[in-house]
Amino acid sequence: MFRAVKIATFLLWLILAVEAAAQSSYQVVPLTHTGTIAGTVTWSGPLPRIPTFSIDKDPEICDPESHRTRDLERLIVGPRNGVANTVVFLKGISRGKAMDIPETRRFLDQKQCRYEPHILLVPEKGPLQLKSSDAVLHTVHMDGAATYNLPFPFTNQVVSRTMPSAGLANVRCNGGHAWMNAEILVVPHPYYAVTDESGRFELTGVSPGEYEIVAWHEGWKVVRQEAAFDVLTERSIRRPVFSDPKTWEKQVTVSPDESTVINFVLGDK
């Protein structure tokens, strides 16, 4: 587990190296005649087998409809092949608009033993808020850009933690709900977006110029299962280990007062 986390974190740090270095000097400046970058992320080719995991704890809360398994949410492709939960961002940004990451991407809820949202964006050195809507004991465990192990014994009690440095934080439950997983990107500037269920994204307030734009996906394969520990029952459990994140990059030109369309196509090769 730790090796997989280190690999995934290192890959994201490579992508964010320039941004992380620039964060100390990122400046919010007045902007006029900015442009917009919009587009879609779609899937091409046959869909891989979507991994699921057995729900073997607290089924009355985690599985009220008795499905017995849970989609791990690592790859969500819509009816028109749009890929949700892909992060699209600009590289090498040192100045621009104020941080405007939506609050919904900075607030993690635990609901029916799944994380909402599945992909979070939190400003570097900014707060992440967390709560549990479930009447069971969850423990949020983070590795990577932030290291926390937070118990949630009470419902709807909001806690806040600072995310200290840019990069990737993997989120898991140490309370025996081994299928629960989410990813937090701690970001050094505001030019990030997460695709919706149709695969759409939009970056606003972009100064005219040439940029590198990146589509980042967490990866959709379960490469193995490994032994883990339920801190509540003190029993050994099996936890999925996921494949590394994937990235796609393009060049984009932004013109004043115009919208530029950039589309990404993902696949299993």
The band of 19, judged by pLDDT with boundaries at 50, 70 and 90, is: low
CB of 94 closer than 8 Å to CB of 26? yes
Tokens found for residue 136: 């069971």
pLDDT at 88: 98
> How far, in Å, CA of 31 to CA of 240, rounded?
45
Q: Please give the model's pTM, rounded to 2 decimal places.
A: 0.90
Domains of the chain (ranges, CATH numbers): 2-266 (2.60.40.420)
Question: What is the maximum alpha-carbon separation in the chain?
Answer: 59
Residue 212 CA, chain-centre distance (Å), reads: 20
Average pLDDT over residues 41-53: 93
The band of 234, judged by pLDDT with boundaries at 50, 70 and 90, is: confident
The overall average pLDDT reported for the chain is: 91
Ramachandran bin of 96, using left for φ above 0, alpha for ψ from -120 to 50, beta for the remaining angles: left
pLDDT at 149: 95
Buried b / exposed e along 93-120 (16+ C-beta atoms within 10 A): beebbeeebeeebbbbbbeebbbebbbb
pLDDT at 227: 87
